Structure 1
């Protein structure tokens, strides 16, 4: 393969962002090839595939549909419900980027003779001083660098992020509107792509027997407070929808899958000063994470918090400068050096 060719394989979901990415790439002189991944069923993705094809026709680019239902079921769906089965809160988008999307992107790009791969995600990959870095997008509200922490620097030279410099969503909509596509005002897709009705409990109960997840609400000293409706219905930090009245606000502070208990506490019980990260990745092999504090996000929507990080065997130990609220086992925590994404891992509370 000619590593200097300007062919780029672009993931096209039929939405505004991936369509805008295709336009920007064309404007920069790349030969764009669109591919739509089928993760659930062709019926559920009929509109997405149709809109992606429509965009490809307007832009005069090739478009392929790739059936990834088998891989998606084995790697993402099973991971999703098994994590809830363990009393944890998974992040399927991070997992999908790691083991399905970018892996298959590169394999398919190689097959088609394309050097680059791309998506409509809001992040930057930049070349500075002879190396490649993942940086936050200009649009801080939409920045999706959080989801990219499992990439390695050696792969970054093949990845293009054309929306990294776009400052707001309306700019992306205008790009799509300018090529006369009728879905420029299309809403963003739901957070979990394989749960079309956003009923994640109903989805989980296709795989988890809810009767086997029943148990007790207990306080932080282990005293029984009442019965709950199944550990898969709760997550750390939850206050609403608990179905129990205790006279003052209570929050889920821990879920124990061994005895199916849901531990409730007051707000101060949600704060923690430390945690560990398992299955972690450092994007840059030579980065020394112990040299200085880094800014961490304990979930996609969280504010950044300063922490010191050190290696401890097969895990990282994270010590926060100030206590953080609602650390949820199973969620991804990522860390930044300024605007540069350094790495991340899966939160585990036990230190």
Structure 2
């Protein structure tokens, strides 16, 4: 099998490429240049996709004895990931850029080019399992629950899964991957994992957004609509946030307040008690399925709303216009823009972008 190994410069993708070579595949390594202003080397574990990462990926490819290329996907990344991130915040939603990157870059743009060049599959260092089921290839959770990345892969389609290769999916732990890298002589064996948003390497999302969309003073409201404070820009807030509200007057019950809603049109932020974050229903758009859509319009499943949150049992209903989910127990603080991934056991069924939520707590509670 001809395999294009996406090599980020980290230990996972390096070991994944090594396993593909060891399995006898014809492997070519490629690093995606996602920024044309990537001259600043990463400090510590923040960020990814820097010049440092490209050099690390090249050293790993040289060690494995495979051809290596750097492909410039910066324009596509700017349009499909960064511009989408800004637009979502401007609309009062909380986006997940890693989901968009997997959807639009790693398993769309990259896979499209790979197939055009005659490759059979794209190999990555993601922790997830591919299982050949009765109706085609299925996406399942990884063996190592702590490293499972099936959530951020929930955007993949059946066609994309058919040309995807995850050599690390059945590895019991990340420690074993690092040990294997060291044994193979890969210099990235102890390289820190990347964190935060790759195109905001200093971690200052609020400052970065202020530069992109501007900052304008607005009002902070309680659930009754009364003004209780001001802010420097609604884009800086997300549902569930507690810190940084700067409300001078304490709540009547003395309890801390949390962001319940962001209203970009009026540039207002609604806050309230933690109990009001309980969400009784979510509905959304951009639904995709990792295989054929569910046979029934209503079905039981588990829903995960964050990359590292616990799945919640729920009842889902889907039609051509979108998906609605009612959890058996309320979700905690779901923000429009988040991705909800649906599971049946360990299998990923599909995903959608949350567009609306219904609180489990009445306004006057």
Normalising by the residue count of structure 2, what TM-score does the alignment of the two structures yield? 0.91
Deviations 1:44-91 (Å, cap 9, x if unpaired)?
421111000000000000111010111111111111111111111101
The CA distance in 1 between the partners of 2:269 and 2:296, in whole Å, is 35
**1:111, distance to aligned residue in structure 2 (A):** 3.7
Gaps of 5+ in 1: 1-5
- Return 138-147 or 202-211, whichever deviates more: 202-211
Question: Which of the numbers 287, 297, 312 marks the counterpart of 1:305?
Answer: 312
**1:322, distance to aligned residue in structure 2 (A):** 1.3
Q: Which residue of 1 aligns with 2:72?
A: 67
Q: Which residue of 1 aligns with 2:33?
A: 38
Q: How does 1:190-269 map to 2 (within 5 A)?
A: 190-211=195-216, 214-245=217-248, 246=250, 247-269=254-276
**1:128, distance to aligned residue in structure 2 (A):** 2.6
**1:93, distance to aligned residue in structure 2 (A):** 0.8
- Return 101-110 or 266-275, whichever deviates more: 101-110
Q: How does 1:148-187 map to 2 (within 5 A)?
A: 148-187=153-192
The CA distance in 2 between the partners of 1:319 and 1:254, in whole Å, is 20
The answer as to 2:185 corresponding to 1:189 is no
Q: How does 1:272-291 map to 2 (within 5 A)?
A: 272-288=279-295, 290=297
Q: What is the RMSD of the two structures over their aligned residues, measured on CA atoms?
A: 1.5
Change (3 A) 1:289 1:235: farther
The CA distance in 2 between the partners of 1:150 and 1:95, in whole Å, is 8
SS state of the match for residue 186, structure 1? coil
Gaps of 5+ in 2: 41-49, 359-365
SS state of the match for residue 253, structure 1? strand
Q: Which residue of 2 aligns with 1:3?
A: none
SS state of the match for residue 172, structure 1? helix
- Return 234-243 or 278-287, whichever deviates more: 278-287
Q: Which residue of 2 aligns with 1:135?
A: 140
Question: Which of the numbers 334, 337, 347 marks the counterpart of 1:340?
Answer: 347
Deviations 1:177-200 (Å, cap 9, x if unpaired)?
012222211101123111111111
**1:306, distance to aligned residue in structure 2 (A):** 1.0
Asked if 2 retains the 8 angstrom alpha-carbon contact of 1:81 and 1:207, the reply is yes
